[in-house]
Amino acid sequence: METRKVLSSLCYFSIFFAGFIFPLAVYLATGDEGTKRHAKKSLLSHLIPLILTPLLVLAVFYDFTSQQDAIPVFTVISIIVLILLWLAVVIWNIVKGVKVLTAE
């Protein structure tokens, strides 16, 4: 197996162990354009939820209703959106990492 394929797929799989740091290091250190392209894609996919998570967490803890017995609908929706966003990013990175490893 080629080193560039393994390195490119590790950029996607790094969502489990190194977050955005590994793809950033690979992007800055590699000279191979294919690996650099995959590192950039995985870096962007790792940063999207990291940028949106603080906004959604703020929405979860901010009470828009002044009623005590009301169901915090916006909070529930924010939690669901946050979970779906992270799940989609993790699945997308797994699929892309496997595709890179199995590509010819």
What is the pLDDT, as a whole number, of residue 78?
79
Domain borders along the chain are 3-102
Residue 74 has what pLDDT? 74
Summarised one tens digit per residue, pLDDT across range 17-53 is: 888 899 999 999 988 898 999 999 999 999 888 888 8
* pLDDT at residue 2 tops 90: no
Q: Residue 95: what pLDDT? A: 95
Cα angle 49-39-44, degrees, rounded to a multiple of 5 = 25
Which class for 35: exposed (0-12), middle (13-18), buried (19 or more C-beta within 10 A)? buried
Q: How confident is the model at residue 75 (pLDDT cuts 50, 70, 90)?
A: confident
Query: What is the distance between the alpha carbons of residues 26 and 7, in angstroms, rounded to a whole number?
Result: 8
